[in-house]
Structure 1
Amino acid sequence: MSISEIADNKWELEASKAPIATPGGVLQILVITFFAGLFAWMVVFAFQGIFGARRDSLADQYGRLTVDGKPAPAAAPASQ
């Protein structure tokens, strides 16, 4: 190996190290951690919405509303 190849390899080795001791490196770590946490938060709430307890929302009440916007009276039990 020539001297220029050895110098080039040393430069490549130094360039491949993450700059975690610099303010820019710390900021990168914080930003990636924030976005990873945000993604995990969204996934957790998505799974809670899919698999969690069912709640009666306004969309579920839409079919039971009357003209004045109040829920329709409960139907009387059928007599036999």
Structure 2
Amino acid sequence: MSTAEIADNKWELEASKPPVATAGGILQILVIGFFAGLFAWMVMFAFQGIFGAKRDTLADQYGRLTVDGKAPAPTQ
């Protein structure tokens, strides 16, 4: 094996290691963690809206409106 091939292999080995001990690497981990947490927070509220308790809002009354624009009293 030539000296150039050995140097090339060492460079490839160093380049394949993630920079987790540097300030830039730590910042990248924190930013990705923040966005993952933000995404999980949004998905949590989406699931609460889909599977949570049903509330009788104006949007829910839209299908029950009569011709005069009044909705019947909500049933519980």
Task: Return the TM-score normalized by structure 2.
Answer: 0.77
Relative distance call for 1:72 and 1:33 in structure 2 (3 A) is closer
What is the match of residue 9 of structure 2? Answer: 9
Give, in whole Å, the separation in 1 of the partners of 2:6 and 2:49. Answer: 57
- Give 5+ residue unaligned stretches, structure 2: none
Per-residue deviation, 1:60: 1.5
Moved over 3 A (4+): 62-67, 71-74
Could you report, residue by residue, the CA deviation over 1:7-54 in whole angstroms, capped at 9, with x for unpaired residues? 111111111111111111111001100111111111111111111111
Superposed CA deviations along residues 56-75 of structure 1, whole A, max 9, x for unmatched, are 112113344865xxx6564x
TM-score, normalising length: structure 1 = 0.73
- RMSD across aligned positions (CA): 2.0
Whether 1:33 aligns to 2:13 is: no
Percent identity, aligned pairs only? 77
| Count of residue pairs brought into register by the alignment | 71
Q: Which has the higher contact order (CA 8 A, sep 6+)?
A: 2
